[in-house]
Amino acid sequence: VMLCGPTTLMPKHIASLGVKVEHDLDKALRWCDVANMLRIQMERQGGDGIGNFPSLREYAMLYGLDLDRYTRIGKDVVIMHPGPINRGVEVTSQVADHANSIILEQVENGVAIRMAVLYLLSARIPRSPV
């Protein structure tokens, strides 16, 4: 497992768990077979929407996946993202809609999994007779 991103978004002791840490997205993409891009949660950043990096533009340039960067990888990396996507920040529309993207399936399955977990948990809640 490898985690790639800016130092300011990395958990402090992640390397001690045996996770490889990389700050160069191009190197990380060449290493992997599947890339699960994560959403920048703007609501959890500073009041201006950013706080852990200088700007969204800089983040997109360093850590965003566009078609040019994807093509330079030189292999068919499967692209994942749990959604919702900040298009143009983590992933561009061209990559999100690419043949090697399974984002829509991932989002659809995520809804079904959460529904199943809620169903199973609610079945364990004791019900009082009406």
Instruction: Give the DSSP letter string of 40-76.
Output: --GGGS-TTS-SSSS-HHHHHHHH-B-HHHHHHH-S-
pLDDT tens-digit readout, 38-69: 998 877 666 555 677 878 899 999 999 999 99
Q: What is the pTM of this model?
A: 0.83
Distance between CA atoms of residues 112 and 116, nearest Å: 6
Report the pLDDT value the prediction gives residue 49, as an integer from 0 to 100.
Answer: 52
Report the pLDDT value the prediction gives residue 46, as an integer from 0 to 100.
Answer: 63
User: Strand, coil or helix: what is 102?
Assistant: coil
Is the pLDDT at 124 greater than 70? The verdict is yes
